[in-house]
Amino acid sequence: MKKIIAAMCCIAMFSFLFIGCSKDDGGPDKDGTDSKMTWEKLVEKYPFMENFPKYDGDIEFPQYNKTFGMESVGFFDYKCDASMATKYYTKLATMGFTVNPNAEGIYTKTANGYDLTFTGAHSAGNFGMVFACNPID
C-alpha cells in the first residue's frame, strides 16, 4: 500500500510540474533559485538523489517537496530526444530498479533504508522526471 501511495504522490507531483513550465536561458529565478542545475549540485543539495543514477541531460526547473517524510525532486529536460529517456531507463535497470509492468516509466527499488521511486515520461521533445525517496519504517 505504501508503494501505491508513494507512486500516486510522484504522479501528482509530476502532473503539477508539467503545468505552467516554460523553457528559458537559465539563471536565478524570481525566488533566487536556479532554473538550471547540474546533477552534482542536485545531489549536494538533496543527498537522497545519490541513490539514483546520474542523469546526463539538462536539469531544468528542479522542484523539491517533502510530504509525510517522503522527499521528492522533479525536473524537466526540455528539447531532448526520446533516446535520453531510453538511456536513463536503461541506467535505472542496470542499477537494480524494477520497472512497473502496469505503468511505463515508473521504476522502484529498495536500498539504503529507503523505498525509491522514479517516474518519468518523454513527450513532445520534453522529458519530465520525479525522483522520490520514502524511508522504510
pLDDT tens, residue by residue, 80-107: 999 999 999 999 999 999 999 988 899 9
Which pLDDT does position 10 carry in this prediction? 46
> Model confidence at 130, in pLDDT bands (50, 70, 90)?
very high
Which pLDDT does position 36 carry in this prediction? 85
111 bridge partner residues: 114
Please state the rounded mean pLDDT for residues 108-127. Answer: 95
At which residue does the C-alpha cell 539538462 appear? 58
| Higher per-residue pLDDT: 5 or 133 | 133
Q: Is the pLDDT of residue 21 over 80?
A: no
Residue percentage of the chain with pLDDT more than 70: 75
Please state the rounded mean pLDDT for residues 42-49. Answer: 95
Of 131, 90, 86, residue with least CA distance to 108:
131
pTM value is: 0.76
Burial 89-126 (b: 16+ CB within 10 A, else e): bebbeeeebeeeeeeebbbbbeeeebbbbbbbbbeeeb
What is the spatial distance between Cα 93 and Cα 89, in angstroms, rounded to a whole number? 6
What is the spatial distance between Cα 74 and Cα 129, in angstroms, rounded to a whole number? 5
Of 70, 22, 62, 16, residue with least CA distance to 39:
62
Amino acid at position 53, single letter: P
Please state the rounded mean pLDDT for residues 5-25. Answer: 43
